[in-house]
Amino acid sequence: MSRTISFVNQKGGVGKSTSVVNVGAFLAAHGKSVLVVDLDPQANSTSGLGVDPYQLEWHLYHVLTNGLLPEEAIRKTGVAGLDLLPTNTNLAGAGIELVTQPNREFRLREALSRVSTNYDYILIDSPPSLGLLTINGLVASDFIVIPVQCEYYALEGIGHLLKTIELIRDNLGHNINVLGAVLTMYDKRNRLNRDVVKEMNRNFPGRVFNSVIPRCVSLAEAPSFGKTILQYDLYSKGGKAYRQLAEEILGLENVGAPETSVATEAVAEENILNTEDINSSEPEAGIVATEASNEFVDVEIVTTLAVENSPEVSLEDSIKQI
Ligand SMILES: Nc1ncnc2c1ncn2[C@@H]1O[C@H](COP(=O)(O)OP(=O)(O)O)[C@@H](O)[C@H]1O
Ligand SMILES: [Mg+2]
């Protein structure tokens, strides 16, 4: 069964595109069939997957506005099993053109329904707004992941995002589950960063991924080579963290089934989330805005994010094939 996950946060620069591209790569390395949909006109996941946005003949704009079949725009990437529905800056026009169209919120959903049986996971990279493009992404999604940068005002805007999800449920009849928040650009030497991690876990227990993504130069460099971290620097801190995040997401696939997760003990040991560091300092009161707390609790969460058991597929074997 295909699962569609929007990575969404209306703040820019929080790690949405980086997360989509790298989670996608590790899911593919685990033998899953994955489609990345670049729904942001800035085209960062398109270029990050090695596709030049300015050389595209067909892209997401044509799918959303001209009725182009998605399979005509989808292309393979340098990672086996990872496909891309690319975009470029023209997509910004779609956000405006669609406003007067019928079924304007359902365009992406309808398009993806044509190809969803080809994929285990469809990951949508959302633009930094809650406009019509993001709404199209949400309406096409079963789940969301919220990347949250470890910074002051980390939670700002999350309440608005969750309200939008409620509005979609109430007005468009589409239910979206929050898989969880993933903390990004974490620097364990930075007290504020440690406090944000602690505050997030305190406010949203069981709803924050165990995998915390560290600030890592290789993660910032990889897109300039059109590569995922799996291809560029697999054993970097960032590579290990995204591998673990992908495995947590894979673990959710088996909720209710006998095998509940695929993360290995080794990976758990490698976890960059150094709980001793994180737990060693008391958070300063009010360091993180908590406007979202109540709304967040109301939203249905599919599961806790426990990581246990052993993998079905050897990641190393998969990576050798890439
Ligand atoms: N963990 C990280 N460590 C270092 N740089 C990062 C990390 N995650 C993202 N970046 C960089 O930060 C910038 C914003 O990340 P991006 O994924 O594009 O955010 P968004 O899609 O939310 O706007 C990019 O230049 C990206 O390369
Ligand atoms: Mg982005």
Q: Is the CB of 14 under 6 A from ligand 1?
A: yes
Mutate to test the pocket of ligand 1, among 18, 87, 133, 221 (most ligand atoms within 8 A of CB): 18
> How many Cβ atoms sit within 10 Å of the Cβ of residue 115?
18
- Would you state the pLDDT for residue 152? 83
Map out the domains of the chain as residue ranges: 3-320
Fold category of 3-320 in CATH? Rossmann fold (3.40.50)
Q: What's the CA-to-centroid distance between 10 and ligand 1, angstroms? A: 14
Looking from the CA of residue 222, the nearest atom of ligand 1 is 27
Q: How far apart are CA 168 and CA 175, in angstroms?
A: 7
- Would you state the pLDDT for residue 314? 45
Say what angle helices 237-253 and 16-29 make with each other, to 10 degrees. Answer: 70
Q: Print pLDDT tens along the chain (322 aa).
A: 899 999 999 999 999 999 999 999 999 999 999 999 999 999 999 999 999 999 999 999 999 999 999 999 999 999 999 999 999 999 999 989 999 988 999 999 999 999 999 999 999 999 999 999 999 999 999 999 999 999 888 888 888 999 999 999 999 999 999 999 999 999 999 999 999 999 889 888 889 999 999 999 999 999 999 999 999 999 999 999 999 999 999 998 654 333 322 222 223 333 333 333 333 333 322 222 222 332 332 223 222 222 223 333 345 544 544 4
> Which numbered ligand comes closest to the C-alpha of 236?
1
> Which numbered ligand comes closest to the C-alpha of 8?
1
> Which numbered ligand comes closest to the C-alpha of 225?
1
Looking from the CA of residue 125, the nearest atom of ligand 1 is 21
Looking from the CA of residue 14, the nearest atom of ligand 1 is 22
Q: Is the CB of 64 under 6 A from ligand 1?
A: no
